[in-house]
Amino acid sequence: MGRLFGTDGVRGRANADLTPELALSVAVAAAQTLAESDRGRAPLAVVGRDTRASGEMLEAAVVAGLTSAGATVIRVGVLPTPAVAFLTAEAKADLGVMLSASHNPMPDNGIKLFAAGGHKLPDEIELRIEAAIEANGTTAWKRPVGAGVGRVHDLLDGASHYVQHVAGTTAHRLDGIKVVVDCANGAAAEVAPAIYREAGAEVIAIHAEPDGLNINDECGSNHIETLRQAVVEHGAHLGIAHDGDADRCMAVTAEGDEVDGDQVMAILALAMREAGTLTGDTLVATVMSNLGLRLAMSAAGIRLVETKVGDRYVLEELRASGLALGGEQSGHIVMPAYATTGDGVLTGLHLMARMAATGRSLTELAGVITKLPQVLINVPVGDRTIGAAAPAVRAEVERAEAELGETGRVLLRPSGTEPLVRVMVEAATEQAARDIAERIAAQVRTASPA
């Protein structure tokens, strides 16, 4: 069996790649691997989902798998991924399961797993779960019977617990701030507007009517065009865009300009250093972050630590080094003092709190970074590994790096969640970056046609 887990759990086309049978197998293996048997009680698991129609089917399979392995299940319904992580910790559960494909289109779905405390799984635990799935496919797992079969309970006030928690993470009121919130027709449709209103903001919610099929459909953090228009039309101070499971936060200025995760991280890093809460004056980011972030942080006396792409690797570095802030250009921002994983709603709240505390516009705050032109091309491929490692592709990358010298950089990596190779180029001008990126992308397409 090849690697089942990508950079953010198990993903695939629901009912084709990610079937109910696979979901059940993952649930059983996770319960076997993660549940603690020495507590004198049945293992406890929290299960949530986003608004995808297929989530109902997969939730049933996961709950069946967990209970067949003897786990007690707390079903929390539709909530953001960080809310499920929070409730896993609050309930002192052994395991958390979130059914979501995050920013992916509706036909996809995914299974994200959390260990006790609401933390994402390290690679070695994922490998153990994969081994357990393979073993369960050849030998029947030990199934409890009678009173040993797990039970299911519905938590009806999970959303209010999460709203109260996030709203209580800042003392700064947002009175006077008007914000347009794009909820991506996803899991944040109710809780994000509620949290921002609780803090005092005037909230205009868009794409907040999920029907099971419209999640991430031309909306949310990957499609901010309608958010830009709405901010300008409503005369709002800013816009906030979440993705389908609300672990991302992208922003838009009053003028309609995009503010990405790099800029948000810079704003929060400076605010936290000023407050004395930026541990070690250090920010954690991935190799995808713009060179402009590195330069801005260096000028401000803030150290930048780089990780591989994926918020799980940012989280690992934050935990290992006891640091207070990290994230990704894509809008995954992690603040370990308040959350065990990336939380887009929490990020949006603290971004607006900085605006309220300083009286400065988002445009002014984001101006701390001068971003180097960056072009990212997602190349569909038949095989991600071949597309990224073929000799002709590597030769084109080396040629590009020689051209750029110290004035830019090239990053080539296979996606961890989709059949894509990501080609990223930074250069002194956008045209130069685009020309080089297109050359490399052409070689990738030739090496591994989709």
pLDDT digits (tens, 9 = 90+) for 217-275: 999 999 999 999 999 999 999 999 999 999 999 999 999 999 999 999 999 999 999 99
What stretch(es) of the chain map to CATH 3.40.120.10? 10-156, 161-366
What stretch(es) of the chain map to CATH 3.30.310.50? 374-447
Q: Give CATH for domain 161-366.
A: 3.40.120.10
Query: Could you tell me the maximum CA-CA distance found in the chain, to the nearest angstrom?
Result: 69
Residues catalogued as catalytic: 102
Crossing angle, helix 261-275 and helix 291-299, to 10 degrees?
20
Cα–Cα distances (Å) from 426 to 266, 345, 387, 430, 443, in that order, read 19, 30, 20, 8, 18
pLDDT of residue 387: 81
Give the span between the Cα atoms of 396 and 388, in whole angstroms. 11
Exposure of 326 in the CB half-sphere (CA atoms within 13 A): 34
CATH topology of domain 374-447: TATA-Binding Protein (3.30.310)
Of 11-25, 29-43, 80-94, which gets the smallest average pLDDT?
Answer: 29-43
What are the tokens at 194?
A: 């509620």
* 40 pLDDT tier (thresholds 50, 70, 90): low
Exposure of 227 in the CB half-sphere (CA atoms within 13 A): 33
Give the span between the Cα atoms of 276 and 284, in whole angstroms. 17
* The domain made up of 10-156 is a member of CATH 3.40.120.10: yes
pLDDT of residue 275: 96
Global confidence as pTM: 0.88
Q: Is 102 annotated as a binding residue?
A: yes
Crossing angle, helix 344-358 and helix 158-167, to 10 degrees?
30
pLDDT digits (tens, 9 = 90+) for 370-411: 989 989 999 999 988 888 889 999 999 999 999 998 778 899
Residue 30 pLDDT exceeds 90:
yes
Q: Is 247 annotated as a binding residue?
A: yes
